Amino acid sequence: MSNIPDITLIRNVALISHGGGGKTTLAESLLFNGGAIVRRGDVDKGTSVMSCEPEEIERRVTITTHVGHCVWRDRWFNLVDTPGYSDFLEATRGALNVVGGAVMIFSGGYGVKPENERLWAMASEAMVPVIGFINKLDRPRADFIRVLGDIESKLGVVALPLTIPIGVGEDFLGIVDLIPMTAWSARDGVFCQIELPESVRADALHYRTQLVEKIVETDDDLLGRYLETGEEPSLETLHWVLKEAVLTHRLLVVYCGSGLANIGVRSLANGIAEYLPSPLDKEMLKPLNGVDPDHPERVISRSPQLNEPFSAIVFKTVMDPFAGKLTVLRVFSGVLETDQPFLNSMQRTKEKGGRLFRLQGREMIPVVRLTAGEMGAIAKLENTHTGDTLCALDHPIRYERVSFLPPTHTFAVEMDAKQEEKVASGLEKLTEEDPTLHLHRDLVTHELILSGMGQTHLRVTLDRLKRKYGASVTLKMARPPFRETITKKVRVQGRLKKQTGGRGQFADCWLEMEPLPRDGGYQFENCIVGGVIPRQFIPSVEKGILEAMEQGVVGGFPVVDVKVSLVDGSYHTVDSSDHAFKTAGAMAFKKGLDEGGSVLLEPVMAMEVTVPDDVLGDVIGDINSRRGRVLGVTPKGAGGQIILAEVPMAEVLDYGNVLNGITSGRGLYTMRVSAYHITPSHIARVLLEQK
């Protein structure tokens, strides 16, 4: 394909849907109809262009975003096939940040699923215009009318069909395109125009009348002429009004068909070309603004033009053990050429630049430049990560980074000690590819902690770790990072005396220990007067205290929220030393923990749980059963509620699975450590037995 002649002809489009909605198969048909591929692949056989990862082929689900391109009616389509399964849905949020529009696919049999609702909210938040496609109308139990009603009731938007089916299920033969009132069907695998069947003529007239009425209602002059004379707007006016409605989210225009049978896909492609925005259209909806990296308060604007300074956003990173790192980006302004150096304004580093590619699924097509509006990839950038802004060296700009929801499932990684370095290195590379994976070493429990968006997400991660880096691990429930503190003030002595001839060891210190308010940390106060302990030994006493704080007496957890005052002591001119006073300080502190009423502190999570109205009571009841405290409930439009609660971490380690079970996958939650509270003694005993 030649270079794109005009930025107004570009359509950057995300295909979004619930898992199993048929996005990848639909993408295959779009690419085939656009002449980009000579035959359509099969998702079930692992031969589709957009299904590249072995884990995707095995599970028949999209795990990460994939990019392809084709030309349709002189429009250049950059298609982004996105994950729809709930565990991988956050990757779609990153794709929506760089596209101009989206096609939301609904299953003709299942209608609107929870993932569709989440994706609709994501698209609205990102100000991405959407058109709909009711897919799989050739499947049993398909119901076009029911799905239309489902869209309106669950998404809260007017669904306006531009095509309707000729039959459904086993009787599905084709579609009627309502604006030109033409019928289309597939005969022997060839899509062609047919006579409008009498069986759907009445339905077609009904839906077309509804279509015209919805359009004229948007303009008083159009409505007046229509009511007075029955005059319909011109085709040009119809298209213009529909595009304006799509761009402003006032209507969801809906197409229908079967991606697998390649029926209705051409009409959908016409809709993409006609109603979804070019980069210039998108700029009017959402200006291309960033900030000066050195002066974040200063807003900078770019325009999607070739003569503007270069800028781009990275929306995917691929780490290959053999081919190296591949950075996938969307160019927002200017031109990027092969080997052109540029600035990574997020990392504040200069990148050398390298070879450029257009992507067709797994295929990488070398190009000499990528221009404003295009998507492509660049090889072997050392310091660039997903979400980073790339820009011209002499015109720095930084675009806002996408904020992904925090991971909801956390586990500890178990591995053979011999593989520890390989495992850590491999997981770090996988987290660079996938920003919804988090990896860290817990400083309290010393466990390697891996967090993801669900159990399937983590299982896929372990499969990729083994395939790409040859490391095998298992996951276990992570231990909550408990802490300990004292509950009353005490005065204790630490005395070390080993004097059996020759130079011995002697140190004597008295400590006063008292609890601090929660999050008070640690305070040390030197109250020695009269030189009863020489000044040079005071730091040694504190060092002994700090080392003893690493392991308390209740369960061996770090000690926090305590004030220690060194108030008295004695020394020996020969036998006293730094080591002796360090040991004495540790002895006194341990004794103070025993006498100071040490207790276990457990982390308490601040949770925000979003649930449908019909399961609100069940979710609140479950939170209460987990020693939780509901702080409030607020409405969240379209039949949803947000529950604010505080729950001990030990009670919600598996909360993702529990919430999915209660809400049938419709619930969402985030949580963070908000405080540490004293654990009730009977609960502490149980938790320590499980340690």
The mean pLDDT of the chain is: 90
Same domain for 197 and 76, yes or no, is yes
533 belongs to a structural domain? yes
Same domain for 187 and 138, yes or no, is yes
Half-sphere exposure of 141 (CA within 13 A, CB side): 4
Write down the pLDDT at residue 3: 57
**Is residue 116 helix, strand or coil?**
helix
405 belongs to a structural domain? no
Same domain for 87 and 154, yes or no, is yes
> Pick from 263, 29, 268, 23: which is nearest to 166 by CA?
263
Write down the pLDDT at residue 4: 60
Q: 60's torsion region: left (phi>0), alpha (psi -120 to 50) or beta?
A: left
551 belongs to a structural domain? yes
12 belongs to a structural domain? yes
Per-residue pLDDT tens digits for 405-440: 888 888 899 988 888 889 999 999 999 999 999 999
Sign of CA dihedral 615, 621, 625, 629: positive
Q: Which CATH number do you get for residue 507?
A: 3.30.230.10
Identify the residue whose tokens are 């898992």.
Answer: 19
Per-residue pLDDT tens digits for 158-179: 999 999 999 988 889 999 999 9
Per-residue pLDDT tens digits for 460-514: 999 999 998 989 999 988 888 899 999 999 999 999 998 766 678 999 999 999 9
Backbone φ and ψ for 552, nearest 5 degrees, come out as -80, -175
Give the end of a domain, one of 597, 628, 660: 597
Same domain for 450 and 563, yes or no, is no
> Pick from 166, 150, 159, 152: which is nearest to 203 by CA?
166
Write down the pLDDT at residue 691: 62
> Pick from 226, 238, 271, 236: which is nearest to 252 by CA?
271
71 pLDDT higher than 70? yes
Structure tokens at 328: 């996938």
Same domain for 450 and 549, yes or no, is no
Same domain for 615 and 563, yes or no, is no
Write down the pLDDT at residue 540: 96
How far apart are alpha carbons 486 and 514 in whole angstroms? Answer: 7
Same domain for 573 and 605, yes or no, is no
Per-residue pLDDT tens digits for 196-248: 999 999 999 999 999 988 888 877 787 878 787 777 888 888 899 899 999 99
292 belongs to a structural domain? yes
Residue 100 is part of which domain span? Answer: 7-284
Write down the pLDDT at residue 503: 74
Residues 6 or more apart whose CB falls under 8 angstroms from that of 118 comprise 89, 668
185 pLDDT higher than 80? yes
C-beta atoms surrounding 424 within 10 Å: 16
442 pLDDT higher than 90? no
Write down the pLDDT at residue 378: 95
Structure tokens at 468: 């790409």
400 belongs to a structural domain? no
505 belongs to a structural domain? yes
Residue 144 identity (one-letter amino acid): F
Write down the pLDDT at residue 34: 93
| Distance set, CA 124 to CA 97, 246, 286 (Å) | 11, 12, 12
Residues 6 or more apart whose CB falls under 8 angstroms from that of 286 comprise 127
Q: Which CATH number do you get for residue 682?
A: 3.30.70.240
How far apart are alpha carbons 131 and 337 in whole angstroms? Answer: 34
Give the end of a domain, one of 532, 564, 597: 597
361 belongs to a structural domain? yes
Per-residue pLDDT tens digits for 273-313: 999 999 999 988 888 999 999 999 999 999 999 999 999 99
138 pLDDT higher than 60? yes
Strands of the sheet containing 474-477, edge to edge, are: 438-441, 448-452, 409-414, 474-477
The CA dihedral of 534, 538, 540, 545, to the nearest 10 degrees, is 140
Write down the pLDDT at residue 216: 84
Same domain for 280 and 295, yes or no, is no
Ranges of H-type helices in 470-615:
538-548, 578-595
Residue 583 burial (C-beta neighbours within 10 Å; 0-12, 13-18, 19+): buried
Which secondary structure element, helix H or strand E, spans residue 642, and what is its range? strand 640-648
Same domain for 302 and 387, yes or no, is yes
Same domain for 442 and 323, yes or no, is no
Half-sphere exposure of 409 (CA within 13 A, CB side): 22
Structure tokens at 622: 């479950």
How remote is the C-alpha of 375 from its chain's centroid? 21
Which is more confidently placed, 189 or 230?
230
Per-residue pLDDT tens digits for 114-128: 889 889 989 999 999
Identify the residue whose tokens are 């006073």.
Answer: 581
Which is more confidently placed, 42 or 644?
644
How far apart are alpha carbons 588 and 380 in whole angstroms? Answer: 56
Q: Which CATH number do you get for residue 260?
A: 3.40.50.300
Per-residue pLDDT tens digits for 626-635: 999 999 999 8
Same domain for 463 and 540, yes or no, is no
2 pLDDT higher than 60? no
Into how many domains does the chain fold?
A: 5
Average pLDDT over residues 527-539: 93
646 pLDDT higher than 90? yes
Write down the pLDDT at residue 1: 43
Same domain for 633 and 586, yes or no, is no
pLDDT bucket at 5, cuts 50 / 70 / 90:
low
How far apart are alpha carbons 174 and 557 in whole angstroms? Answer: 67
Which H, E and C letters describe 320-373, residue by residue? ECCCEEEEEEEEEECEEECCCCEEECCCCEEECCCCEEEEECCEEEEECEEECC
Give the end of a domain, one of 361, 391, 421: 391
How far apart are alpha carbons 52 and 527 in whole angstroms? Answer: 68
> Pick from 558, 643, 632, 646: which is nearest to 604 by CA?
646
**Is residue 134 helix, strand or coil?**
strand
Specify which residues 350 forms β-bridges with.
343
Which is more confidently placed, 364 or 3?
364
C-beta atoms surrounding 357 within 10 Å: 19
Write down the pLDDT at residue 388: 95
Per-residue pLDDT tens digits for 72-110: 999 999 999 999 888 899 999 999 999 999 999 999 998
